[in-house]
């Protein structure tokens, strides 16, 4: 049954979703980056020729795996498979195929062909997942605090105030993984809260964790932590067999595309593309390049001057404080612990990875999966605001983070690894010089600056409306409480 409060929240939820999705779809990263392009090449091979080999694109990418005489995708196949519907739809509308172009990364015709398919795949994949996750973070924060303003601050901090925004403009799996962790957290809480058995959230939890592994293999570790935490929450319930059984079934179904792709590509469900990586000898160290964490690397990916995550998302510093507040509160302690666990596991894996910096990457891209669940810490910080000038601090930090990441999303996620301070040299300087990628400049011939101004003209009034609408709901509820 829909309550009056639900009715008042519905416009906020709809506008929030559209704002995040449109913002992620509005800007675009360089489609010919080899890490991005190889995923689309594999999609094209599936759609155009019904095969997994990407021999045709051998000269167009340095990221690849070789088995025998053939070249294959060297990544987890999740993002490639997610792009299939978009590429297949364009294939149905146009008779053009990739083999009709000269396969040079500098070729404008080939780049435009790849760009169109990348942008549509992003809009129906990473951008969509990030918008869904922002909506679920809103719901989680609302459940934890009862405040529409705190819930909105949490969702915006994640969707627009972290690098999840910029990385949602590509086909890399980091931003989708951040979104999948949020979806899994939401589903786990829904499935294990209240007396009524909620079957579909339990099933969704399993599918989400299974699919997360198909997107990025390291998700198996943090995903296992979420699964164990869920089992602990469910164990005291009379419906624990139902919840855990549905979650397990969902997990197996979520993993099926991985086994199916491996069988399709290599003839074995357990053979991985990573086993045939060429040109990256560090992948042979440890487990696919992952060894013991290096404390110096851990510092560099978090607070380091060159590419530390907190330089790009200062709002996450507030979120860390919020996680501590959650752990101190007996009602939210276990949620705070699992958020901290996901954060620590992901950072330690990144700190132990041979290619920890991500090469031509702006910021530590392998740490992006933490930003969604960590942003949940904004909710208790928002509720902890005092009086006087200090009460505006969370809002000010969120606005600063949104401004930084608007510049980040508008420029490019593939930054120089030699830049001494990437936020300045790779983001701010190119932004000031107008080196931007926007929907209007790429497809309608607008100047990049004009394309960014149009986004601002839409986004800023929308943000103001969201803040006012959430504030009014809070004011109404306070009046009702007093009465």
Q: How many angstroms separate the CA atoms of 41 and 57, rounded?
A: 7
DSSP assignments along 84-102, one per residue:
HHHHHHHHHH----GGGS-
The C-alpha atoms of residue 468 and residue 471 are separated, in whole angstroms, by 5
Residues 110-118: what's their mean pLDDT?
A: 90
Q: Taking each helix axis from N to C terminus, what angle separates 333-351 and 315-328, rounded to the nearest 10 degrees?
A: 130
Tell the residue number behind the tokens 């705190």, with chain if given.
150
State whether the Cα torsion 211-213-219-221 is positive or negative. positive
pLDDT for 138 equals 97
What is the model's pLDDT at position 81? 97
Greater model confidence, 416 or 424: 424
Span of 69-73, 117-121, 159-163 with lowest mean pLDDT = 69-73
Instruction: Tell me which H or E stretch contains 473.
Output: helix 448-482
Per-residue burial over 268-288, b if 16 or more Cβ lie within 10 Å, else e, is eeeebbbebbeeeeebeeeeb
Give the start-end residues of each E strand in 29-156.
65-67, 70-72
Work out the angle between the directed axes of helices 148-159 and 4-26 (0-180°, nearest 10). 10
pLDDT category of residue 9 using cuts at 50, 70 and 90: confident
Mean pLDDT of 360-385: 93
CA distance 483 to 481: 5
pLDDT tens across 425-481, in order? 999 999 999 999 999 998 888 999 999 999 999 999 999 999 999 988 876 655 555
* Per-residue confidence band for 132, with pLDDT thresholds at 50, 70 and 90: very high
Q: How many distinct helices (H) and strands (E) make up the chain?
A: 23, 2
Name the pLDDT band for 62 (thresholds 50, 70, 90): confident
- Band (pLDDT 50/70/90 cuts) for residue 387 is low
Least confident of 16-30, 145-159, 255-269, 383-397: 383-397
Q: What is the pLDDT of residues 315-329, one digit of tens each?
A: 999 999 999 999 999
What's the pLDDT score for residue 104? Answer: 62
Sign of CA dihedral 240, 241, 242, 243: positive
pLDDT above 70 (res 420): yes
Question: What element of type H or E holds 133?
Answer: helix 126-145
Task: Give the pLDDT confidence score for residue 65 in this predicted structure.
Answer: 87
**What letter does residue 173 receive in the DSSP assignment?**
S
Q: What is the pLDDT of residue 286?
A: 67
Cα(30)–Cα(429) distance, rounded to whole angstroms?
17
Residue 203 is encoded by which pair of tokens?
A: 């099933």
The region of weakest confidence among 138-152, 154-168, 343-357, 375-389 is 375-389
Structure tokens at 304: 């380091």
Q: How confident is the model at residue 41 (pLDDT cuts 50, 70, 90)?
A: very high
Residue bearing the bigger pLDDT, 120 or 107: 120
d(CA 34, CA 157): 30
Residues 179-202: what's their mean pLDDT? 92
- Tell me, what's the pLDDT at 281? 67
Rounded CA separation 244/234 (Å): 7
- The pLDDT value recorded for residue 483 is 47
Secondary structure (3-state) at 268 = coil
Q: Which two tokens mark 53? A: 């080999």
Report DSSP letters for 195-237, one per residue. SS--HHHHHHHHHHHHHHHHH-TTHHHHHHHHHHHHHHHHHTS
The pLDDT, as a whole number, for residue 107 is: 59
The DSSP bridge partners found for residue 27 are: 438
> Using 50, 70 and 90 to split pLDDT, how confident is the model at 6?
low
What whole-number distance in Å separates Cα of residue 387 and Cα of residue 401?
23
Question: Mean pLDDT over residues 127-141, rounded?
Answer: 97
> What pTM did the predictor assign?
0.95
Residue pair 151/145 in contact by the 8 Å Cβ criterion: yes
106 compared with 299, residue with greater pLDDT = 299
Q: How far apart are the first and last CA of the chain?
A: 24
Mean pLDDT, residues 169-182: 96
Q: What is the mean pLDDT of the chain?
A: 90
**In which band, very low, low, confident or very high, does the pLDDT at 24 lie, cut at 50, 70 and 90?**
very high
Per-residue confidence band for 1, with pLDDT thresholds at 50, 70 and 90: very low
């Amino acid at each position: 049954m829909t309550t009056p409060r639900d009715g008042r929240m519905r416009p906020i939820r709809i506008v929030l979703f559209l704002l995040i999705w449109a913002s992620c779809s509005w800007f675009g990263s360089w489609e010919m980056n080899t890490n991005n392009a190889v995923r689309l090449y594999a999609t094209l091979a599936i759609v155009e020729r019904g095969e997994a080999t990407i021999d045709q694109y051998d000269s167009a990418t340095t990221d690849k795996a070789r088995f025998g005489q053939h070249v294959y995708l060297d990544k987890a196949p999740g993002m490639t498979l997610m792009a299939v519907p978009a590429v297949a739809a364009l294939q149905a509308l146009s008779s053009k195929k990739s083999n009709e172009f000269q396969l040079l990364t500098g070729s404008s015709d080939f780049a435009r062909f790849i760009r169109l398919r990348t942008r549509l795949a992003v809009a129906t994949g990473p951008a969509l997942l990030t918008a869904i996750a922002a909506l679920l973070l809103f719901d989680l924060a609302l459940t934890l605090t009862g405040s529409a303003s705190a819930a909105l601050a949490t969702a915006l901090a994640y969707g627009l105030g972290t690098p999840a925004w910029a990385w949602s403009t590509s086909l890399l799996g980091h931003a989708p993984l951040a979104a999948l962790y949020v979806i899994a957290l939401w589903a786990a809480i829904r499935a294990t809260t209240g007396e009524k058995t909620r079957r579909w959230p339990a099933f969704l939890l399993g599918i989400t964790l299974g699919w997360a592994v198909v997107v990025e293999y390291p998700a198996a570790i943090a995903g296992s932590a979420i699964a164990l935490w869920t089992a602990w929450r469910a164990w005291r319930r009379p419906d624990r067999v139902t919840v855990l059984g549905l979650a397990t079934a969902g997990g197996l179904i979520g993993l099926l595309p991985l086994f199916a792709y491996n069988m399709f590509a290599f003839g074995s469900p357990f053979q991985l593309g990573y086993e045939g990586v060429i040109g990256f000898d560090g992948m042979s160290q440890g487990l696919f390049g992952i060894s013991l964490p290096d404390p110096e690397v851990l510092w560099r990916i978090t607070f380091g001057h060159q590419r530390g995550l907190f330089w790009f998302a200062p709002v996450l510093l507030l979120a860390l404080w919020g996680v501590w507040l959650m752990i101190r509160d007996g009602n939210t302690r276990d949620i705070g612990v699992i958020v901290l666990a996901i954060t620590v596991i992901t950072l330690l894996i990144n700190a132990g990875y041979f290619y920890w910096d991500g090469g031509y990457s702006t910021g530590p891209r392998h740490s992006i999966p933490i930003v969604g669940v960590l942003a949940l810490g904004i909710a208790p910080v928002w509720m902890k605001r005092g009086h006087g000038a200090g009460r505006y601090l969370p809002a000010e930090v969120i606005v600063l983070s949104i401004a930084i990441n608007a510049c980040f999303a508008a420029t490019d996620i593939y930054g120089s690894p030699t830049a001494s301070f990437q936020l300045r040299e790779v983001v701010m300087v190119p932004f000031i010089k107008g080196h931007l990628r926007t929907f209007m400049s790429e497809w309608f011939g607008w100047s990049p600056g004009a394309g960014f101004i149009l986004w601002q003209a839409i986004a800023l009034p929308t943000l103001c409306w969201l803040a006012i609408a959430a504030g009014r709901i809070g004011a109404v509820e306070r009046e009702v409480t007093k009465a």
